[in-house]
A and B are shown apart, each in its own frame.
Chain A
Amino acid sequence: MPQQRVIVVGGGLAGLAATIRIAEADMPVDLFSMVPVKRSHSVCAQGGINACNEVARQQGYSEYQHFDETIYGGDYLADQAPVLEMANWAPRIIDLLDRMGVPFNRTAEGFRDLRLFGGSLFRRTHFSGATTGQQLLYALDEQTRRHESEGKVNKYEFWEFLRPIIHDQRCVGIVAQDMRTMQIRAFRADAVVMATGGCGLIFGKSTNSVICTGGAASRCFQAGAWYANPEMIQVHPTAIPGADKCRLMSESARGEGGRIWVPRKQGDSRDFKDIPASERWYFLEEKFPKYGNLVPRDIASRELFDICVNQRMGIGGENVVYLDLTHRDPDYLTRKLGGIMEIYEKFVGDDPRFTPMKIFPAVHYSMGGLWTGYVHGAYDPPQPHGEHRAGGVVPVSTDSGQGMQPGAPENMMTNIRGLYAFGEVSFAFHGATRLGANALLSCIFDGLFSGASVVNYVRECEPGETPADSLDPATFDAAAQHEQSKHQALLDSADAGDMTDETNPYRIGHDLGVEMTEASTVVKSGPRLEQCLKKLAHLRDRYSRVRLSDAAMWTNQSLSYTRALGDMLILAEAIALGGLKRKESRGSHFRTDFPDRDDPNFLKTTIATYDPQSRSTDISYRDVDTRLVRPRPRTYGKIEAEQQHKTGQPVVAK
Chain B
Amino acid sequence: MALAHAHSPTQRRLNRQAAKPGRTIRIRIKRCDGPGKPSRWEHFDVKVERGANVISCLQQIAAHPVTADGKATTPVVWDAICLEEICGACTMLINGRVRQSCSCLIDEYAPNHGDSITLEPMSKFPVVRDLWVDRSRAFEALKRIKAWIPIDGTYHLGPGPREPARPQLTRYTLSTCMTCACCLEACPQYTIEHDESKWDASFIGAHAISQVRLFNSHQTGKQLAPDRLDILTGLGGIASCGNAQNCVKVCPKDIPLTESIGAIGRAATLHALAKWFSGPS
Chain B residue numbers with a CB within 8 Å of A110 are: 162-165
A135 with B139: CB separation less than 8 A: no
- Assess whether A332 is interfacial by the CB under 8 Å rule: no
Chain B residue numbers with a CB within 8 Å of A142 are: 147-149
* Closest Cβ neighbor of B48 among chain A residues: A243
Chain B residue numbers with a CB within 8 Å of A143 are: 148-149, 151
- Assess whether A1 is interfacial by the CB under 8 Å rule: no
Enumerate 19 A-B pairs (CB-CB under 8 Å) in ascending A order.
A20-B154, A36-B89, A38-B178, A41-B81, A43-B82, A44-B84, A99-B157, A103-B175, A105-B165, A110-B162, A110-B164, A135-B172, A145-B142, A149-B146, A243-B50, A347-B53, A506-B59, A554-B34, A557-B75
A210 with B81: CB separation less than 8 A: yes
- Assess whether A329 is interfacial by the CB under 8 Å rule: no
Q: In the complex, which residues 585-630 of chain A have their Cβ closer than 8 Å to any Cβ of chain B?
A: none
Q: Pick the contact of A552 from B33, B108, B142 — CB < 8 Å? A: B33
Please list the residues of chain B having a beta carbon within 8 angstroms of any beta carbon in chain A.
Answer: 13, 16, 33-34, 49-53, 55-56, 59, 62-63, 65, 72, 74-75, 77, 80-89, 102-103, 105, 108, 128-129, 132, 135, 139, 142-143, 146-151, 153-154, 156-160, 162-165, 168-169, 171-172, 175-176, 178-179, 215, 218, 220-221
B128 with A180: CB separation less than 8 A: yes
Most buried by A among B13, B53, B82: B82
B77 with A555: CB separation less than 8 A: yes
The 0/1 profile, CB within 8 Å of B marked 1, for residues 97-114 of chain A is 011110111111011100
- Assess whether A638 is interfacial by the CB under 8 Å rule: no
Q: In the complex, which residues 484-518 of chain A have their Cβ closer than 8 Å to any Cβ of chain B?
A: 504, 506-507, 510
Q: Pick the contact of B154 from A24, A349, A507 — CB < 8 Å? A: A24
Q: Pick the contact of A510 from B16, B63, B142, B147 — CB < 8 Å? A: B63
Q: Pick the contact of A138 from B55, B75, B165, B175 — CB < 8 Å? A: B175
Chain B residue numbers with a CB within 8 Å of A244 are: 52-53, 55-56, 59, 83, 102
Query: For this complex, into which size category does the number of interface residues on chain A fall?
Result: 35 or more
- Assess whether A228 is interfacial by the CB under 8 Å rule: no
A549 with B65: CB separation less than 8 A: yes
B154 with A145: CB separation less than 8 A: no
Chain B residue numbers with a CB within 8 Å of A99 are: 149, 151, 157, 159-160, 220
Chain A residue numbers with a CB within 8 Å of B74 are: 549-550, 552, 558
Chain B residue numbers with a CB within 8 Å of A271 are: none
> SS class of chain B's interface: helix, strand, loop or mixed?
loop
- Assess whether A56 is interfacial by the CB under 8 Å rule: no
Chain A residue numbers with a CB within 8 Å of B146 are: 146, 149
A35 with B159: CB separation less than 8 A: no
Instruction: Say yes or no: A149-B143 contact (C-beta < 8 A), given A135-B172, A248-B84.
Output: yes
A209 with B149: CB separation less than 8 A: no
CA distance A105 to B169 in the complex (A): 8
* Closest Cβ neighbor of B102 among chain A residues: A244
The 0/1 profile, CB within 8 Å of B marked 1, for residues 121-162 of chain A is 000000011010011001100110110110000000000000
A39 with B88: CB separation less than 8 A: yes
A134 with B62: CB separation less than 8 A: no
Top-9 shortest CB links A-B: A98-B160, A506-B63, A142-B148, A243-B56, A555-B129, A244-B56, A103-B172, A101-B149, A99-B160
A38 with B179: CB separation less than 8 A: yes
* Closest Cβ neighbor of A39 among chain B residues: B87
- Assess whether A273 is interfacial by the CB under 8 Å rule: no
Chain A residue numbers with a CB within 8 Å of B163 are: 106, 110
CA distance A40 to B89 in the complex (A): 10
Q: Pick the contact of A106 from B135, B142, B168 — CB < 8 Å? A: B168
CA distance A99 to B155 in the complex (A): 11
- Assess whether A395 is interfacial by the CB under 8 Å rule: no
Q: Return A504 CB to nearest CB of chain B, in Å.
A: 6
B53 with A506: CB separation less than 8 A: no
Chain B residue numbers with a CB within 8 Å of A148 are: 143
Q: Return A190 CB to nearest CB of chain B, in Å.
A: 21
* Closest Cβ neighbor of B179 among chain A residues: A38
A134 with B86: CB separation less than 8 A: yes
Q: In the complex, which residues 65-108 of chain A have their Cβ closer than 8 Å to any Cβ of chain B?
A: 92, 94-96, 98-101, 103-108
Q: Return A442 CB to nearest CB of chain B, in Å.
A: 17
CA distance A142 to B175 in the complex (A): 11
Q: Return B29 CB to nearest CB of chain A, in Å.
A: 14
- Assess whether A418 is interfacial by the CB under 8 Å rule: no
- Assess whether A390 is interfacial by the CB under 8 Å rule: no
A107 with B165: CB separation less than 8 A: yes
Chain A residue numbers with a CB within 8 Å of B102 are: 244
5 further interface pairs, Cβ-Cβ under 8 Å (given A100-B151, A103-B168, A180-B128)? A43-B86, A104-B168, A148-B143, A180-B129, A347-B105
Chain B residue numbers with a CB within 8 Å of A103 are: 168-169, 171-172, 175
B164 with A106: CB separation less than 8 A: yes
Q: Return B66 CB to nearest CB of chain A, in Å.
A: 10
- Assess whether A21 is interfacial by the CB under 8 Å rule: yes
Q: Return A357 CB to nearest CB of chain B, in Å.
A: 14
* Closest Cβ neighbor of B62 among chain A residues: A506
Chain B residue numbers with a CB within 8 Å of A98 are: 159-160
Chain B residue numbers with a CB within 8 Å of A41 are: 81-82
Chain B residue numbers with a CB within 8 Å of A138 are: 175
- Assess whether A464 is interfacial by the CB under 8 Å rule: no
CA distance A145 to B146 in the complex (A): 8
Q: Return A287 CB to nearest CB of chain B, in Å.
A: 31
Q: Pick the contact of B150 from A104, A146, A346, A448 — CB < 8 Å? A: A146
B156 with A96: CB separation less than 8 A: yes
Chain A residue numbers with a CB within 8 Å of B158 are: 95
CA distance A180 to B34 in the complex (A): 9
Chain A residue numbers with a CB within 8 Å of B33 are: 552, 554
CA distance A106 to B168 in the complex (A): 7
Most buried by B among A143, A244, A507: A244
CA distance A139 to B160 in the complex (A): 13
* Closest Cβ neighbor of B150 among chain A residues: A146
Chain A residue numbers with a CB within 8 Å of B55 are: 244
Most buried by A among B13, B135, B146, B151: B151
* Closest Cβ neighbor of B87 among chain A residues: A39
CA distance A497 to B28 in the complex (A): 28
- Assess whether A539 is interfacial by the CB under 8 Å rule: no
- Assess whether A247 is interfacial by the CB under 8 Å rule: yes
Q: Return A273 CB to nearest CB of chain B, in Å.
A: 18
Chain B residue numbers with a CB within 8 Å of A558 are: 62, 74-75
CA distance A148 to B139 in the complex (A): 12
CA distance A149 to B50 in the complex (A): 46
CA distance A448 to B56 in the complex (A): 38
